[in-house]
Amino acid sequence: MVSRIIPVEEFDLIIFGGTGDLARRKILPGLFKRFADGQMPQGSRIIAAARSEMNRAEFQAFTKEAVLAATDESETSDLLAGFIDALDYVMVDALGVEGWEELAGKMRGGCIRAFYFSVSPSLFDDLAKRLHDHNMVDPDTRIVVEKPFGRDLETARALNQQLAARFDETQIYRIDHYLGKETVQNLMAVRFGNMLFEPLWNSQYIDHIQITVAEEVGVEGRGSYYDHSGAMRDMLQNHLMQLLCLTAMEAPAKFEPDTVRDEKLKVIRALGPVEPHHMVRGQYAETEDEKGFREDAENPQSRTESYIALKCEVQNWRWAGTPFYLRTGKRLAARSSEIIVVFKSTPHSIFGPDAGEHHNELRIQLQPNEGITLKVTIKEPGPGGMRLLDVPLDMSFAEALGEDADAPDAYERLIMDVMRGNQTLFMRDDEVEAAWAWTDPIIQGWEARHDVPKPYDSYSQGPTDAKLLIQRDGREWRDIKV
Ligand code: BG6
C-alpha cells in the first residue's frame, strides 16, 4: 500500500490552554503519534502557553505522563525523548501583560505557525488582540478554535465577528472533532465513491433515516459545564448536525473546502422548524451506586437535558417526506454511534401477504466497531414455500482491512490538516451560524414552556417518550447496543 503519511511542512504549534484537559487527553498524545509516524517534521515545535506556574521541564514531564497514559509507548523510548525535546512552555496571562513578550520572542520565520485556542471562548478576543499587538500574526498564520462555539446565534455571531476583526476566514479552523473521525469521512466515501447508493438516496426510495450518538458515560466531572449546555448544545447542534449534513447533502463538485461546506450549509438552511411534539428531552436517573444527572450536575432543580431525540425534515426536493430522527444522550445502554438508512418496501410484493413486510437497511456504524451493514431480503432456506428472511451483509472495517483499519484519532488528523492548510473538515462561520439559527427557536420553545426533561433509567434506551416519538409514525428505533 502507498504510504499514507502526507508530509507537512515544519511548524510551530502554540497551544493556549496547553496544560488543560483536552491537551492532556487528545492534543498532546495525538501530536506524539504524528511525531512517531514521522509526520511531524524535524525542527517543529510545540509551545504550550498557559496560566499554570510551570517551566519547560515541568511541561515536558506533564506531556510525558499524558502520552504514556494514552499510548503503549515505553517511558524510555527514544521516540518519546525526541518528541519531548520539541516542547516548550511559556507562562502567559491571557487577560494581562505577563508572558507575551517572552512568547513573542520565541516566534521565528520560515515555518508554519498555528495558534490553538484550547480555552474558554470568552478569551478568544483577548488572545487574538494580544497576538496582533505583539506582531505574532501574518497572513499565513492559522488559528484553531474549539467548541463550544457560542451558546446561541447571538454569541456565535459575536465570536465570529471578534475573530473576523483580526483574521481572515481562511485562517480560522473551527474544530468539530466528529469531522476528523475516519468513519465520518467514510460516509462521504460510501455516498460519493459508489454508484450503488446515490440513485436511491432520496425520498422516493428512503423511508426514513436514524442518526444516533449514544454514550454510556454520564457527565461526571463536567457536571457544571454540562448543566449550562445540555445535549442539544453539546452534541446535537454540532456533531449530529454534521452527520446529518454529510448524510443529506448533494454531491459537491470536488472534495474541497468550500464546495463541501457550501453543500452542508444548504442542508442546514433547508431544515424545517421542529414542533414541540416532535422532540423529547430526558435526564438520566440515579442507580444504586451511581448518581443521577441532577446530582452529577450538583443542581437538584436542573432542567438541562442529558438526552434529546427529535424528528426533523430537510425541506428540499431530495428529502421532502423523508423524516430524519436524531437522538443523543449520556448514560445509555451502550456507546454506539450510527446512521441507519431505512429504505422503503418494494412497491408490490409478488410473494403474497404471507411473505410479510421487508425492506433494506443500510447501517453505517461510526463507533465503536466501524463498519457497514446492508440488510437484504432473501428466501428462507429449505422447503415450505416462498418465505422471506432479512439477513445482514456485514462488513466490519477491522476485519476487512486488518491493520490498515487503524486510523489516526480525529485530533491527529485535524491538526495535520491545519498544518496543510486544508479547511475541508472544519466548520465555516456561516455554517456554525446557520446551525444556531435552527437550534435557537427549539431551545427558546422549551424554555418558554418550562419544559422538564423526562427521567430515564441509566444504561437504558432513553426515555419512553422517545420510543413513542418514532412509534407514532409506525417506525422503531434500532436498539442501542454494541
Ligand atoms: C464532545 C462533548 O464534543 O464529544 C462530550 O462535549 C462528548 O460531551 C464527546 O462526550 C463525545 O465524543 P466521542 O469522540 O467520544 O464520541
pLDDT confidence of residue 352: 83
Query: Is 184 within 8 Å of 191 (Cβ atoms)?
Result: no
CA–centroid distance, 10 to ligand 1, in Å, is: 30
Q: Does residue 36 carry a pLDDT above 90? A: yes
**Is 234 close to ligand 1, i.e. is its CB under 6 Å away?**
yes
The distance between the two most distant Cα atoms of the chain, rounded to a whole number of Å, is 84
Average pLDDT on 51-73 reads 95
Identify the residue whose C-alpha is closest to ligand 1 atom 9. 235
Nearest to 27 by CA among 364, 416, 421, 351: 416
From 147, 234, 293, 411, mutation site for ligand 1 pocket: most ligand atoms within 8 A of C-beta:
234
* Position in ligand 1 atom list of the atom nearest CA 215: 10
pLDDT confidence of residue 1: 45
How would you classify the pairing of strands 371-379 and 388-396? antiparallel
Nearest to 329 by CA among 387, 281, 296: 281
* Position in ligand 1 atom list of the atom nearest CA 229: 6
CA angle 426, 428, 434 (to 5 degrees): 125
Is residue 358 among the annotated active site residues?
no
Count other C-beta atoms under 10 Å from residue 345's C-beta.
13
Identify the residue whose C-alpha is closest to ligand 1 atom 15. 215
What percent of the chain lies above the pLDDT cut of 90?
85
Confidence of residue 130 (pLDDT cuts 50, 70, 90): very high
> What pTM was estimated for this model as a whole?
0.95
The tens digit of pLDDT for each residue in 233-265 reads: 999 999 999 999 999 999 999 999 999 999 999
pLDDT confidence of residue 183: 84
* Position in ligand 1 atom list of the atom nearest CA 238: 3
Q: How far apart are CA 469 and CA 278, in angstroms?
A: 7
Query: Is 145 within 8 Å of 117 (Cβ atoms)?
Result: yes
Q: How far apart are CA 103 and CA 46, in angstroms?
A: 12
The DSSP element (H or E) to which 438 belongs, if any, is helix 429-448
Residues making up the chain, counted from first to last: 482
The identity of residue 407, as a single letter, is A
How would you classify the pairing of strands 206-214 and 112-117? unpaired
CA–centroid distance, 238 to ligand 1, in Å, is: 11
Of 239, 278, 359, 450, which is the active-site residue? 239
List of E strands, 171-295: 172-174, 206-214, 279-284
pLDDT confidence of residue 403: 67
Query: Is 192 within 8 Å of 251 (Cβ atoms)?
Result: yes
CA–centroid distance, 213 to ligand 1, in Å, is: 9
Q: Does residue 354 carry a pLDDT above 90? A: no
Query: Which residues are registered as beta bridge partners of 328?
Result: 213, 308
pLDDT confidence of residue 220: 82
CA–centroid distance, 269 to ligand 1, in Å, is: 25
pLDDT confidence of residue 4: 67
Is the pLDDT higher at 407 or at 151?
151
Contacting residues for 229 by C-beta, under 8 A, at least 6 apart: 148, 151, 304
Nearest to 346 by CA among 178, 205, 188: 205
**Is 215 close to ligand 1, i.e. is its CB under 6 Å away?**
yes
DSSP secondary structure string, 205-224?
Answer: TEEEEEEEEE-S---TT-HH
DSSP character at residue 166? T
The tens digit of pLDDT for each residue in 381-396 reads: 888 778 899 999 988 7
Average pLDDT on 201-217 reads 98
Contacting residues for 336 by C-beta, under 8 A, at least 6 apart: 212, 214, 365, 367, 368, 480, 481, 482
Query: Is 138 within 8 Å of 168 (Cβ atoms)?
Result: no
Q: What 3-state class would DSSP assign to 284?
A: strand
Please state, rounded to an integer, the average pLDDT across all residues of the chain: 94
* Position in ligand 1 atom list of the atom nearest CA 147: 3
pLDDT confidence of residue 437: 98
CA–centroid distance, 177 to ligand 1, in Å, is: 8
